Chain A
Amino acid sequence: MIRVFVPADTTACALGADQVAAIIAEFANKSGLDIELVRNGSRGAFWLEPLVEVEAAGQRIAFGPVTPGDVPGLFEAGFPAECDHPLCLGKTENIDWLAKQQRLTFARAGLDDPLSLDAYQRSGGYSGLRKALEMSPAEIVETVTRSGLRGRGGAAFPTGIKWKTVLEAPADQKYIAANADEGDSGTFADRLLMEADPYQLIEGMTIAALAVGADKGFIYLRSEYPKALKILTQSISAAEQARLLGENILGSGFNFHIEVRLGAGAYICGEETSMLESLEGKRGLVRFKPPLPAIEGLFGKPTVVNNVLTLAAVSTVLASGAEHYRGFGTGRSRGTLTAQLAGNIRQGGLVEVPFGTSLRTLVEEFGGGTASLKPVRAIQVGGPLGAYLPESQWDLPMDYENFNAAGAMLGHGGIVVFDQSVDMLQQARFAMEFCAVESCGNCTPCRIGSVRGVEFIDKIGKNENRDDSLELLEELCETMDKGSLCAMGGLTPMPVRSALKHFPRDFEPADFAGRVD
């Protein structure tokens, strides 16, 4: 039987994958072709979605991007066989954009039905947990520490050290909290992982629980991801039925339960302490630290709070060994960077490469430049709190230290490309506006500062008290940076200052001769 794959991923479906699947089934039926239609996850090559694949004789042949209207023509040309049709891309493994990546965490994404436990285990899934079950908690923590894995949510804190703190905290109850509140614009790696390879997250959480002695875990998922909710709910229940989750996991006597809790549209709940408040059923007000969540986290108990990608990476670390994982990357940034190419980009999607790859390589070689075909002007890296980078900074190696040194940050790996039509004053204004909308309100620099920030930028735009407004804006940025309770208020100045520093002409009066719009 021929297997035909049509992704059921959010982006693929947003581009018509459900209709494509229905029409393929209809045409196959009409032609008397015996096909098995598999709704796989996406490989993350979103520019090629819907990316239809056909598996025959152990080979995968790709077609894309396939719109519903393309299907009749494909069948006429000989589909599902490899055929002479402009959408036929040849063997999937030979698509340069995918072949040039170094996939560890996303190696399995898009290969099969994300809910198939068989497919997951056939491709090495649960070998990490099986190894962990043979180890002592301290050995698991030591392995994660040795791998050099750092938090992928944005803060880049060494995962092993966090786990060690939780392991050593005496308590009758501990928790694992997966942060799936992926709110940064330009990021979709967590979503892709949860939709394409959910068991990897579940396995990683189970390993974390085993390592620190937790028996309960929560996935805090943003409500903007309805498909991920469905897939996670189904995969948790399938893992429980297979005794890979729940009571007496794999006959080891170890118990661990996972529950998915939905956020409710608040960006701030991606901040770990705000997320814990929300999990407790409260307003997502940021907590003071200390105490660290590793000591007093969810319901006051020691809690491992990790990003989805961090927990997923743990499965790879345990399965392939700490040395294998730390063999990728550069300096203190070990393993792989999951870059997400977004915004005005021709070939957008998820690119997993070793740390140290340059922004230019990602945007030009993988991204193929802008979708509008105009020159790139600014690139925002690291979400709405990340810096806008001008061309002079595109050759920086993408790793935590180099980006910090340049006044920027990698964050969660989002890369949003803007062409020449961007007005950087508007972007700086939006950074403040977004902070005003999404601030939890618990500290003054963020709550009030963001509102004042919008006002100052508007004054600069209208050329009112220009010099004073610029000076006050800089002082305000300093106050927010130094005085905010968390990264929301603390980092909002980053996009604002970078826009001012690198694109000063956009802040000149509209009739200024040198202004570029």
Chain B
Amino acid sequence: MQATTEKVARVVTGAVSKYANCPGGLMPLLHEITASLGYIPKENVADIARGLGLSRAEVHGVISFYHDFHDHPRGRTTVQVCRAEACQAMGSRELETHVKQRLGIDYGETTPDGRFSLEPVYCLGNCACSPSIRIGDDIHARVDSDRFDEILDGVQA
């Protein structure tokens, strides 16, 4: 989802002034921008760096290190499928094949209509009732292909 230039400027300026004097503030700053915009626009890396007294390379380095941060627009809703062992033991390999087919995209991609981005996740802490997926902030347990379709059909976005 592409944000307007005004909104981007407002969000980035707000986050920078909030965390400029916070020790280790780059992580919460990037989370805050991600929560508002869905991504951290490349064009604003220099503003963030200047505001926090860091180099652009340092800011870029942090964005590129963490799976949660992205420097390009994303789908309105993120779908995460757990790929870790407990879910594998309950058939998550089949589930992930189905999810990719149903959404028509691979991990790291966004559906052409901009509704969903698909990401792998390594454990959602729901391992006694696997396989697990996360859609937005909602975690779902014991998900098979049919259940996934049902959940996805219910997503308003």
Chain A positions near chain B (C-beta within 8 angstroms): 10-11, 13-15, 46-47, 49, 182-188, 190-191, 223-226, 261-267, 278-284, 299, 340-345, 348-349, 371, 380, 384, 414, 416-419, 422, 427, 430, 434, 437-438, 440
Contact = CB atoms under 8 A, between A and B. Distances in A.
B69 to A, nearest CB: 6
A15 B142 contact: yes
B128 A342 contact: yes
A182 B125 contact: yes
B122 A11 contact: no
11 contacts: A15-B142, A47-B128, A265-B66, A267-B122, A281-B26, A281-B27, A340-B128, A343-B88, A343-B89, A380-B85, A384-B85
Given A15-B142, A416-B86, 10 more contacts: A10-B125, A14-B129, A182-B123, A184-B123, A187-B125, A261-B24, A263-B66, A265-B67, A279-B27, A349-B128
Contacts of B129: 11, 14-15, 46-47, 49, 348
A226 B122 CA distance: 15
Interface string B119-157: 001111111111010100111111000000000000000
A430 B88 contact: yes
A154 B84 CA distance: 18
Contact of A224 (B25, B124, B128): B124
Interface in B34-56: 52
Nearest to B128: A348
A191 B89 contact: no
B85 A343 contact: yes
B127 A342 contact: yes
Contact of A186 (B25, B127, B134, B137): B127
Contacts of B114: none
Contact of B65 (A224, A225, A266): A266
B141 A430 contact: no
Contacts of B112: none
Contacts of A188: 125-128
A343 B130 contact: yes
The 5 A-B residue pairs with the shortest CB-CB distance, nearest first, are: A348-B128, A185-B84, A265-B67, A264-B66, A281-B26
Nearest to A440: B65
B3 interface: no
A348 B87 CA distance: 13
Contact of A345 (B24, B66, B128, B134): B128
A111 B54 CA distance: 47
Contacts of A11: 126, 128-129, 141
Nearest to A195: B125
B33 interface: no
Interface residues of B, number: 42
Given A264-B66, A283-B62, A342-B130, A183 B123 contact: yes
A265 B123 CA distance: 10
B81 interface: no
Nearest to A190: B125
B105 interface: no
A121 B18 CA distance: 36
B31 interface: yes
Nearest to A228: B125
Interface string B96-112: 00000000000000000
Nearest to B90: A344
B14 to A, nearest CB: 18
Contact of A264 (B67, B87, B122): B67
Nearest to B133: A14
B68 A13 contact: no
Nearest to B30: A264
Contact of A283 (B61, B138, B140, B142): B61
Contacts of A190: 125
A195 to B, nearest CB: 9
Contact of A14 (B28, B52, B89, B140): B140
* Most chain B beta-carbon neighbours within 10 Å: one of A14, A190, A226: A14
* Centre residue among A46, A267, A342, A422 by max chain B CB count within 10 A: A342
Nearest to A265: B67
A281 B126 contact: no
A465 B16 CA distance: 55
B76 to A, nearest CB: 17
Given A185-B85, A384-B85, A434 B122 contact: yes
A416 B127 contact: yes
A299 B90 contact: no
B125 A225 contact: yes
Contacts of B125: 10, 182, 187-188, 190-191, 224-225
Given A15-B129, A188-B128, A279 B90 contact: no
A486 to B, nearest CB: 16
Contacts of A430: 85, 88
A279 B24 CA distance: 6
B67 to A, nearest CB: 3
Contacts of A416: 85-86, 89, 127
Nearest to B68: A264
A363 B69 CA distance: 38
A14 B132 CA distance: 9
A257 to B, nearest CB: 13
A264 B31 contact: yes
A226 B121 contact: no
A223 to B, nearest CB: 6
Contacts of A340: 127-128
Contacts of B62: 281-283
A348 B128 CA distance: 5
A323 B88 CA distance: 42
A10 to B, nearest CB: 6
Contacts of B27: 261-262, 264, 278-279, 281
A412 B62 CA distance: 28
Contacts of A184: 123
Contact of A262 (B28, B90, B140): B28
Contacts of B88: 343, 427, 430
A187 B127 contact: yes
